Amino acid sequence: MISENVKNILSELSTGNPYGEKVTLVAATKTRTPEEINEAISAGVTDIGENRVQEFTEKYDLVHGAARHFIGHLQTNKVKYLIGKTDLIHSLDRFELADELQKRSEKAGWTANCLLEINLGNELSKSGFSIDSAKEAYERAIKYPNLRICGFMAMLPISEDEKYLRSLCLCMREIYDTIKARDENVRVLSMGMSGDYRLCVECGSNMVRLGTHIFGPRAYNLK
């Protein structure tokens, strides 16, 4: 079932987005076993993303052949476990975290690839910068010598109003385009989960994070 799901999704995404870009599939692997994750990789998944540092660490050596993303809320006291081990951190959502990432990365002689997390609906339950402060956050974040800002990770609000969601995504894409035009490190717009990825890709996402759509419903609910 996992293999079939992966093949279907990869085939669907293979046409890219309307902006002529390839769309990367990141398998969101929280609560999934290493066996399930390896099955997804065998079926063609090239990138996987964990939400919690403990799960990231526990599964690290048991999963093979994929780029490692970190997509969940990151506590500053857990940053040290990701240094040198992750290809892209999607959840840079505050400068306290940037400070800690800088400190640890510099010590290790490493550069942390990061996306600035944007809370598109300004929901209190979600972290991240507001869309209005995205450019300002970017300007400040690029000053950290050991962080490489590769783009944005946008979280959509929960809403049935497709027109509203579309307008938020397009607004995010516009900001992404403006910054991308002058910074060659900026090449990722991570936007879209199982419930909304089609809309997100239509509006210019070039990276989607899918859990349920690949692996089925989660047995228990984790953020």
Ligand X SMILES: *Cc1c(COP(=O)(O)O)cnc(C)c1O
CB of 17 to ligand X, least distance (A): 18
Q: Which of 44, 132, 212, 216 binds ligand X (CB under 6 A)?
A: 212
Interface segment toward ligand X; rule CB under 6 A; list 11-19, 105-113, 129-137, 205-213: 205-213
90 DSSP β-pair partners:
none
Query: With contacts defined by CB under 6 A, how many residues of the chain interact with ligand X?
Result: 13
In this chain, which of 2, 71, 115, 191 binds ligand X, going by CB under 6 A? Answer: 71
41 binds ligand X (CB under 6 A): no
Which of 76, 194, 199, 202 touches ligand X by CB under 6 A? Answer: 194
Q: How many CA atoms lie within 13 A of 180 on its CB side?
A: 16
- 168 is a site residue for ligand X (CB under 6 A): no
Q: Output 71 or 141, the one with its CB closest to ligand X.
A: 71
- Give the CA count within 13 Å in the CB-facing half-sphere of 156: 32
Query: Of 83, 142, 193, 199, which lies in the binding site for ligand X, with binding defined by CB under 6 A?
Result: 193
Judged by CB under 6 A, the residue of 52, 69, 104, 213 near ligand X is 213
Q: Which amino acid is at 72?
A: G
Residues 6 or more apart from 89 whose CB is under 8 A from it?
69, 70, 74, 82, 101, 112, 113, 114, 115
| Shortest spacing between CB 21 and ligand X, in angstroms | 19
User: Is 72 near ligand X (CB under 6 A)?
Assistant: yes
Nearer to ligand X, 53 or 146 (CB): 53
Establish if 189 lies at the interface with ligand X (CB under 6 A). Answer: no
Phi and psi for 44 in degrees, rounded to 5? 125, -5
- Read off the amino acid at residue 57: T
Which one of residues 5, 17, 24, 51 is an interface residue with ligand X (CB under 6 A)? Answer: 51
Task: Enumerate long-range contacts of 40-47, CB under 8 Å, 24 or more apart.
Answer: 40/2, 40/3, 40/6, 40/214, 40/215, 41/65, 41/66, 42/3, 43/2, 43/3, 43/4, 43/6, 43/7, 44/6, 44/7, 44/10, 45/6, 45/214, 47/87
Q: How far is CA 210 from the centre of its chain?
A: 10
For binding to ligand X (CB under 6 A), which residues are involved?
28, 30, 51, 71-72, 193-195, 209-213
